[in-house]
Each structure stands twice: as C-alpha cells, then as structure tokens.
Structure 1
Amino acid sequence: MATEIEPEEYAKMAIIRAERVDDAYQIQRLHSAAFGDYGKTVNALVEELRPTIAEQGGFSAAAENDSGVVGHVMLTTSLLDSERRLAPAPVLGPLAVDPHHQGSGIGAGLMQWAIEAATEARSPFILLEGDPGYYSRFGFRPAGPLGFRKPSLRIPDAAFQILLLPDYEAWMTGTIVYAWPFWANDAVGLRS
C-alpha cells in the first residue's frame, strides 16, 4: 500500500499519508468540526475502529497541509454473509474534510488514495453509506441491484453503495454485517 501520495493539484498542497499515532487529537478535532453534533459519535466510532485495522485489515489515512490534519478517511473490515461463506467486506467511512478546506479536492484525494490502497491490498470491493451525488463520480453505485443486502433497513437504498475492484468475484454477494463498533455507536443508517 502506498504510504504517501500527492493529491491532485487542486487539493491545495495537502499530502495524504497513513495515519500516525500522534494524529489522533487532530483527527478528533477534524471530525467534530466536519460533523457538528454528530462529531462525538463519529469520534467514538473512529476510536473503536482503529484497533480492528491491525486485527482485521484496512487503513486510516490523513490529509495534512501547513494547517495540520485537514482530512481523514478509514477503511475497515466488516463481514459479507454470502451463500458460499463469510468473507471480509471492506467498508469505507468515515470520510471527513475540515470545513475550511472543503471543495478544495482534499476529499477527492482521500477517496483516490483509499481506492488505490484497497486495490493494492486486493480487496474485492469497497462498501459505504453516503451521498450518491458525491460518490458516484468515483465509480460507486447502488449495491442492492448487485445482490448486496444492507445491514439495516434504516440505510436508504441509494446511499448503500459499492465500488467493485479487480479482485471481485461473482459469488461475492449477500448480506453485509457491519463490525461491532458501527452498532455500538448507533452509526448505521438514519434515525428520524
């Protein structure tokens, strides 16, 4: 996996690299700024997902410029309950960019980094919950029509998305079972 890349020129001089231990405080502040009232939940989710990366695979990356950490993305492993067997299911999220740097290309750079890292790690796909208007430009599409069942009915169909990668095989369909931190932090789907 690449450990450091330059994002597109429009990313305003941010470097995207693997998260370091000393980034934790800045990442926490970033999520609080980017997610507002929901930032506390996102920060708890990030703290509980970090140990799963070493245990089950995935990564956490930071975008950094002269201001410090201005972006963050995680890819962690959940499960795919397929007809054939339980299999790893890479889930992307959270993705955050400091509000003062949104629209600069940092989010796009983080997404490109994540896709390249997942491809290099031979992940078969990447799943996420998010805005189709944003993520479709990276090749994500609704996962339901491809045979993937969402882990909760609270997830809007259009928001449950997938990007198939070169190591995807046709048998890899079924129900997604999120890793426990998503459930423990009630970070699955939308609540009314």
Structure 2
Amino acid sequence: MEAPVQIRSARPEEQEAFESVVRAAFADEGDVVVRVLRELVDRELVCAIIVAERNGTVVGTVALSLAWVDARERLVEIALLSPLAVHPDEQNRGTGALLLDAAFDAAQQMEFPLVALEGDPAYYASRGWEQSSDHGVLSPSARVPEAACRVRLTSSYEEWVTGRIVYPDTWWRHDTVGLRDPLLAQVEAAPEGVTAG
C-alpha cells in the first residue's frame, strides 16, 4: 500500500527539493519560475512555502507571497498563490488540491482578506476559487484573461476590499504576469472553460 502524502511547511534545507519540483512541473518555464520565487524569498515577500511529501520525497509545493488590492480607502495586503507545482509523476492524485487547501488555511491564519491567483478556470473553479471580478477585484493586467484571475475570500474579507490587484515588481521584471501572444490569443479564442495547453 502506498504511503499517504503529507502536507507541511517547507524546511530551509529543502529549497533544492521544492525547486526541482517547480522545474519539473513548469517544464520550459521552470527556471524562470524558480528565479521569481528565489527573488521573492530574498526580498522577504514570501509568507509561506508549503510542500507535499510522499515516502520522504517532496512531490509538490505551493508558495504564498505578498501582493495588494488597490482599494479606494487604502492598499490592502493580500496573499498571492504562486507557484503551485506538483511533480508530473504525482499529478492527478489530489496532491494539488491538498496544497491549495493548505495554502488557503495558512492565508486565513495570517488574516489576509483574500488569496488571489492566475490559473486554469476549470481547475480552480471546481476547487472553490471564484472569478475575482465577481467580487470587484480586478486582475493586475489585461493579459490575464478575466476568467483566469481567481480568488478565495477568507473570514477576514470585507466588502470594501475592491480594486485592482498589484503585484510586486519582481513579477513584472521577469515578465511572468499573464500571458503573451500567441498563447493569449489562443486562450481568448478557446470556448469558455477550455484553456490552451
């Protein structure tokens, strides 16, 4: 019988292990995603890194970092969920869903009003992530398809927290916000709920 997956906070000595999972999960874009994550850590913008472990091996990871909603009253700190990475050998086994729940629970404990992410609408909607614009929270870029900008509201959320999401400049310097053509055009042309892959 296979050992169950364990979800827990990452330990500092596991950096190489969770970076390896990110590279495997993101394939050609893995090195860029790792560079973004390292820079966010170095700038003390990462709030939590959570790993999934099976049989003593890290098989998945998720990070929460700081972002903001530019509300009328003031900037509001929120948690940005990215990256979510599950090793290809571990995918389609529920590990990603466990990591998502753990990240949301961590954000809830840190009293962020909401957690935001960019991702496949079909995957995230089925796991309780709502379209951000339904709550007056706007994506950080026109290059993020509206349906792909998702949020989960915590118990600290208040209805006045509306406005555009603001990412730290790290994401912009690495050009990792939203999609660019031709992929953006393919996603926009696809039937609703279908993403180009």
Confirm or deny: 8 A CA contact 2:46 2:63 kept in the other structure: no
Deviations 1:159-188 (A, max 9, x none): 011111111001100111101221121110
Match of 1:17, as an amino acid?
A: R
Please show how residues 38-187 of structure 1 align to structure 2 within 5 Å.
Answer: 38-52=29-43, 55-56=44-45, 58-66=47-55, 68-187=57-176
Note the residue ranges of structure 2 that are not aligned, 5 or more in a row: 182-197
CA-atom RMSD, angstroms? Answer: 1.6
- Distance in structure 1 (CA, Å) of the matches to 2:114 and 2:24: 30
Moved beyond 3 Å, runs of 4+: none
Amino acid at match of 2:40: L
Task: Indicate yes or no: 2:12 matched with 1:21.
Answer: yes
Report if aligned partners of 1:12, 1:104 keep a CA contact under 8 Å in 2. Answer: no
Q: Give the secondary structure class of the aligned counterpart of 1:166.
A: coil
| Matched residue type, 1:123 | F
- Relative contact order: is structure 1 or structure 2 higher (C-alpha 8 Å, sep ≥ 6)? 1
- What are the superposed Cα offsets for residues 131-182 of structure 1, whole Å, 9 maximum, x if unpaired? 1111112211111132112111110110011111111001100111101221
TM-score (norm 2): 0.86
2-side partners of 1:189 and 1:151: how far apart? 8
Give the Cα separation in 1 of the matches to 2:21 and 2:134.
Answer: 34
Q: Any gaps of 5 or more consecutive residues in structure 1? A: 1-10
SS at match of 2:126: helix
Distance 1:138 1:51 in 2: 31
Q: CA deviation at 1:51?
A: 3.3
- State how far apart, in whole Å, the 2-side matches of 1:177 and 1:164 are: 17
Q: What is the total number of aligned residue pairs between the two structures?
A: 180
- The amino acid across from 1:145 in the alignment is D
CA gap of 1:24–1:56, structure 2 versus 1, over 3 A, is closer
- Judged with a 3 Å threshold, the aligned counterparts in structure 2 of structure 1 residues 19 and 27 are, in CA distance, closer, same or farther, namely same
Percentage of identical aligned residues: 37
| Cα distance in 2 between the residues matched to 1:56 and 1:190 | 23
Q: Residue 67 of structure 1: CA displacement?
A: 5.5
